[in-house]
Structure formats: C-alpha cells, structure tokens
Amino acid sequence: MTTKPIRGLERYYEYRERWKAIISDMEKSPVPNPALLALFRLFLENDEKTIDCAENNKPFLSSWYGNAPEIYAAMGIHYICVVDNLLAHQSFTDDLAGIDANIVPDDMCGLIKLGAYAVEKGLVPTPTGMIAMLEPCDAQSVLHESWINNDAWKDVPYFALDPAYRSGKEDFEYFVGELRRMIAFLENLTGIKLDWNRLREVIEETNKQYEIWDEYNQLRRAVPCPGGSFQGSGIGWAISQHIMAGHPGATDLFRMLLADEESRYKANKGWLEKENSRVLWADLIGTVNAPIGEWLEKEHGTVVVQDFQGYTPYSHIDTSTEESMLLGLAKRNLAEVPMIRQARGNVDVFIEDVIRIVEDYKIDCVFFPGHVGHKDQSASVGFLREACRELGVPLLVLTMDIFDPRYLPMDKFTHIVNEFFETHKLGKFK
C-alpha cells in the first residue's frame, strides 16, 4: 500500500538532504567555519521539526517575523515562515523562473511573489494555523489574504495581528491586546496553555541574544570595521526570526559571531587589509547581497558596515510580570524588528536610523537599493536626500528587487557603483 505524499513535504525532504550534505562536507573540511556549521545545523533541526509535525499531525504554524514568535516558542508550537527556505535554497531551485509564470503582478516585491508561488505550488506543508502579518507593507497583508483564498489553505484557521501605526503608550497597549487575543486563538487551536514561566525563559534567552548582537554591532563602529559586509545581518536575522525563538543554539551562534569579530577588533585588525570606504545599505538584505558585498570588498576595498537588517537596537524586555512581558514583546515586534521598524508608521524612524548609523558608524556613503517592494521607502526618497545632504554623505539611489537578482543584474549594478564611486572619489578611487 502506498501512502499519499503530504503536500509540501517533498521540498522539505530536499532541503533536509541538502543541509545534511552541506554539513557533512563542511565537517570534512580541514578548516570548517564553525559559525556557518552551527547555522546550518540549526536550519536542519528546524526543517526536521517541520517534517515531523507535518508527518505526524503535530500542530505547527505559518508565521512571519514581527509576530511575537516568542509566544509560540513558549507554547512549544513549531512555526515556519513560508519564504525562508525558498530564499536559502534559491540558487538550487528554479523558483525564480516559477514566479515569472505566476499570475501575481510583476511589480510586486520578489519575496511576496515567492510566497504566493510557494503556497500555490505546494512547496510548503499546509500548517495547522496561520498567524498573519499585516505590516509593514501592503503586500504582506494581501499575501496572507491570498493564502486563505488558496484551495489548499482555505480551511487553515488564522489570526491576524493588527499593528498600531504610531509608537505611543496607547499603541503598544493596543498591540498587547492583539497579542492576548492571539494567545487565546492559539490556546483554542492547539489545546496548549501558555506557560508564562516558560515565556519568561524564552524572552530572557532572546534578551541575551539581542545583547550580544548589540555588542557585535558596537564593534562594527571601529575603523577599520572588524567584520565583513552584511555578515551579522544575514545570520542574526535568520536565527532570531526563523529558528524557534529563544533557542540556546542561536545564543551560542551569536557568541561565536561576536568572538570572531572581537578577536580582530582586539588585534586592531580590519576585515579588509585596507579599508577605503564604509557603506550603509539603507534597507534589508536579500538574496542579492552576498555577491554585492564580496564585489565591493574585492574591487573597492569597501565594507558595508551596517544595514537595516543588522541594525537592531532591541531593548531589554522586563520579564517581571505577564503585562511587562507582553508590553516588551509589543514594542519589540512593532518598533524594533528590522523592516517593520523602518517601514511601519511615519518616515521619522527611517530617517533617524540613517542619521544615527551614518554618524555612529562613520559611514562614507549611503546605498539606497530602492527595493521594488518598498513603496513607502521609495516615497521617502526626498527625506533621505535631504538627510544625506545635511550629513554630507553621498547617496546612491538604485532600483532593484533585493530578492530577485535578475531585476538589476550584477554587471549593471557594478557599472552604476563604479561611476558613483569615481564621481565621489570613494572605494578604489579614493
């Protein structure tokens, strides 16, 4: 008797095998990169959990960053973000070609197109429940809406967290109310009761993680920068948002990142032998960033010292009471998680962050990728120009899709940057 394959798991088996092969190869290497090895092990563990849940009817959620995953973690409910594996495995799949054939308008964010495609094509298992994210962009909300309109997901119970727009006391309190309603939904859905002591433990672990991440960031202020372009951002984001919140393995990984950077910092060594220029990438990093970072370093002796994904001024959450924990989570998820931080609400945070980063990290120029999905940021370009003018730093405004390298091909990108650097005597022209 053959059993019917579970929708979406085929892809996950593929991911699992790929992680295993990569890990095994790395383990055999004479100089394995311990941080990467730890990261891939966390990814593998996460995918194995997803497979286990889907195969054995254990509850698991579809969620997105900024939805207070600390709460699901405290309840022991596993969760996935539909797009994380698609991004991590992008170079091994033909998903980008797949999104072209989809009927979703091509003027949307690549991440959204991938998310729609994944559910449509059954590349993710159908979750037990969904926590929808309605911020920071319009596209997020309608992507989640499209999922509940999909035949495979139409019966998935869902809860949507309504974000407040402002960041005042009342707004956070309103979001606390939303978190409480989410907890009630989850308890009802899974029959699991939230253990507030466990939540305290999870939050305390994440507090530790964000403190280390912050220390790591502080070191990047040094000239020359002791870490590589986009280094902590990619890893930090993945392990703080896509791995079960408060995972001690993630804390260890943050420590490794810090130790590695600290060793160079203490020896007064930069990531590059000669650092010509320091860049702020004023947006998230996507799948285009690794080759961009490498090229900037090699060709121009330039390090992307900070970006919005790595710039994470998380505040410590007071775990003394239920209320203080929820309030802390409301603040963290509404006003600190990257991208939500800069895109939700009015333009001030975006501009203040640019100003602060430029000053604190001794930035020589700002790259604004003009990500096609970030309609709010594109409409903030006037504010950004003015801020950069006042700061006296050159600004490069691009238009790209940070999740689709085809939008602005690398040769065009390098050409634009070369011209920009030559004009402003930066990079190798310094």
Among 73, 82, 119, 134, the residue binding another protein under the rule CB under 8 A is 134
Options 10-18, 106-114, 183-191, 407-415: segment touching ligand SF4 (CB under 6 A): 106-114
| Residue 370 within binding range of ligand SF4, rule CB under 6 A | no
Binding track, positions 331-370, relative to another protein; x by CB under 8 A: ------------x--xx----------------------x
Give the whole-angstrom CA distance, residue 217 versus residue 159: 35
Minimal distance, residue 350 CB to another protein, in Å: 10
DSSP 218-274: HHTTSSS-SS-TTHHHHHHHIIIIIS-TT-HHHHHHHHHHHHHHHHHHHTT--SSSS
Alpha helix (H) ranges present in 89-168? 95-101, 110-120, 138-148
- Smallest distance, Å, CB 79 to another protein? 19
In the complex with ligand SF4, which residue's Cβ is closer, 326 or 400? 400
CB of 23 to ligand SF4, least distance (A): 29
String of contacts with ligand SF4 for each residue 192-231, x by CB under 6 A = ----------------------------------------
Q: Which token pair is 189?
A: 């859905």
* 160 DSSP β-pair partners: 132
All residues at 6 or more sequence positions from 364 whose CB lies less than 8 Å from its CB, including other chains:
277, 278, 279, 393, 394, 426
Three-class DSSP category at 296? helix
Task: Count residues binding another protein (CB under 8 A).
Answer: 51
Extract the tokens encoding 120. Answer: 């449509």
Helices 381-391 and 348-360 pack at an angle, to 10 degrees, of 30
Alpha-carbon torsion angle 224, 257, 12, 289, nearest 10:
-10
Measured CA to CA, the distance from residue 412 to residue 366 in angstroms comes to 18
293 belongs to the binding site for ligand SF4 (CB under 6 A): no
Is residue 397 involved in binding another protein (CB under 8 A)? Answer: yes
Rule CB under 8 A: which residues touch another protein? 103-105, 107-109, 112, 116, 132, 134-135, 137-139, 141-146, 148-149, 158, 160, 162-166, 174, 177-178, 181, 343, 346-347, 370, 372-376, 378-383, 385, 397, 399
Rule CB under 6 A: which residues touch ligand SF4? 109, 111-112, 136-137, 139-140, 284, 339, 343, 373-374
